[in-house]
Amino acid sequence: MPSLSDLGVDLLRTTWWQRWQPIPMPYLYATCFMMSWHCGAYWLSFVFLVLVFSACSTSTHDVVHRSLGLSPRATEWLLFFLGLPLFESGHSYRSTHLYHHKRFPHDDDLEGEAAHLPMIQVLLSGPTFMVRLWVWSWRSHSGRPVERMWLIAEGLLPVIALVAGYLALPWTNSVLAYAVAVLVSTFFYPLFAIHLPHRHFEEGVRWTEAWTCRGRWIPKLFLPLAFHLEHHLYPQVPSHNLPELARRLQPWLVRHGVEPIRVF
């Protein structure tokens, strides 16, 4: 497999704008969801819901892999604030996701478990998926009180969101609608983020660990997921450079029989 120096160390570069511009976007899209829901434009709300998930997943991936050059302090806080729009634990995600990169496709990789299961079991596991990842993270951080404090604070986010939505009902039901829509959508994480991108893996063959997509719009919208093979092979490359990484790696992938998935 080509080294990153062979492909170009410029793939690690990130500008100030690339580093910080994505951070407020999940909050902007969440606000737009609630505004459009309040105005009765429900179809538009779900467009913004997709954008919330896209923005959060892209930015959190980069923070987890320390590919943006952020300080340790900024990393800890951004894990919290990037998980907040989805009522998720960014610190739990860091623990399980880095272990996923280290261990996939071994059976002790809880995050990658859905890659081994038939689709019906994957769907049935969806409602408990995030809880099981949180519990795994809690157990793995025994003796680390600061990390566990983050996990406690983040574990309360779904409850706080539902209570806030209920309290806002006299004025609007958009807050509760957003909370419920986000929490139900997370049930499909094992399907869309694990099972589909990884299901054709071969034991010991790194370039079959995940899929890679080509297209005009979807790859731009879901960078770490669409270029998931490239992300697995070179996790230190920030999301905004994944399309260029894919372009440079394409001849090597062709020689090894990797067929990108064509999408819209």
What's the angle, vertex CA 121, arms to CA 197 and CA 194, rounded to 5?
A: 20
In this model, does residue 120 exceed pLDDT 90? yes
At 129 the pLDDT is 97
**Lowest-confidence segment of 15-19, 45-49, 81-85 by average pLDDT:** 15-19
Percent of the chain exceeding pLDDT 70 equals: 100
CB 238 within 8 A of CB 227: no
CB 85 within 8 A of CB 25: no
At 199 the pLDDT is 87
What distance lies between CA 196 and its chain's CA centroid? 14
Give the whole-angstrom CA distance, residue 223 versus residue 141. Answer: 30
pLDDT in tens, 73-114: 999 999 999 999 999 999 999 999 999 999 999 999 999 999
pLDDT in tens, 224-259: 999 999 999 999 999 999 999 999 999 999 999 999
Give the whole-angstrom CA distance, residue 3 versus residue 112. Answer: 25
Q: Across residues 215-232, what is the average pLDDT?
A: 94
* Cα distances (Å, whole numbers) of residue 4 to 14, 113, 125, 173: 16, 29, 37, 49
